[in-house]
Chains A and B, each alone.
Chain A
Amino acid sequence: GQNIDQPTEMTATEGAIVQINCTYQTSGFNGLFWYQQHAGEAPTFLSYNVLDGLEEKGRFSSFLSRSKGYSYLLLKELQMKDSASYLCAVMDSNYQLIWGAGTKLIIKP
């Protein structure tokens, strides 16, 4: 079966750096997405990786290793507004997005 694994919850301190990991086993691979979802709101797009390596976008970076079935989202200079759930999703061979359950990130002052 298809499976996306990410930690359920993480806690970090304002101003620090946090890395949220995602491992996947899917039938085929057509890219990996990270979304942010604040409580009670819709998911919003953060990043997309299809080739191995690091993609940087401001304070957020996303890394992919296709051979290891692994990705991480790196958040730098954490702000209180970064408190949210972070969703990892993989597009399979049928171009369907398979979603992880999300990682709830709690930022403490």
Chain B
Amino acid sequence: IAGITQAPTSQILAAGRRMTLRCTQDMRHNAMYWYRQDLGLGLRLIHYSNTAGTTGKGEVPDGYSVSRANTDDFPLTLASAVPSQTSVYFCASSEKRGGTDTQYFGPGTRLTVL
């Protein structure tokens, strides 16, 4: 089934630990995004990638890093998790960044940092 997959579905993590959230799409989309969603706030962009080999910072990039080695995968790494990173994380993709291109979302990863 075409779409975006994310792993893990949920995770409880001790503060200070390193964690990588995985995201894979099979739609051959050029652009990919990582958002976090917190209660009472809109989705906030963490990092994005216009195409394989390039990445950019979004609104809330501190404490997170990404890589885009190929078209399909866009992992998000928390180098040293802190409780304020407790959130639901969504990966999304679109054919290209901007314009009318619709963003398609993965099912999300619910992360709790204790």
Q: Which stretch in A13-21, A58-66, A69-77, A97-105 binds the other chain? A: A97-105
Question: Chain A residues with Cβ under 8 A from B48's Cβ?
Answer: 96
Contact call A101/B40, Cβ cutoff below 8 A: yes
A104 to B43, CA, bound (A): 15
Known contacts A43-B43, A96-B45; A50 and B105 CB within 8 A of each other: no
Contact call B98/A95, Cβ cutoff below 8 A: yes
Instruction: State the A residues within 8 Å of B (CB).
Output: 4, 30-31, 33, 41-45, 48, 50, 87, 89, 91, 95-102
Question: Chain B residues with Cβ under 8 A from A45's Cβ?
Answer: 102-104
Of chain A, the residue at the smallest CB distance from B6 is: A42
Question: Chain A residues with Cβ under 8 A from B104's Cβ?
Answer: 45
Known contacts A41-B107, A42-B105, A42-B107; A91 and B98 CB within 8 A of each other: yes
For residue B43, give the distance in angstroms from its CB to the closest CB of chain A: 4
Main secondary structure of the interface of B (DSSP, over half): loop
Closest 8 CB pairs of A and B: A95-B98, A99-B42, A42-B105, A99-B43, A45-B102, A101-B42, A43-B105, A100-B42
Contact call A98/B42, Cβ cutoff below 8 A: yes
Could you list 30 A-B pairs, sorted by A, with CB under 8 Å? A4-B42, A30-B99, A31-B99, A41-B107, A41-B108, A42-B106, A42-B108, A43-B90, A45-B102, A45-B103, A45-B104, A48-B100, A50-B100, A87-B43, A89-B42, A89-B43, A91-B98, A91-B99, A95-B97, A95-B99, A96-B45, A96-B58, A97-B43, A97-B45, A97-B103, A98-B42, A100-B42, A101-B41, A101-B42, A102-B42
A90 to B109, CA, bound (A): 24
Category for how many chain B residues contact A: 20 to 34
For residue B12, give the distance in angstroms from its CB to the closest CB of chain A: 17
A100 to B43, CA, bound (A): 7
For residue B100, give the distance in angstroms from its CB to the closest CB of chain A: 6
Of chain A, the residue at the smallest CB distance from B96 is: A95
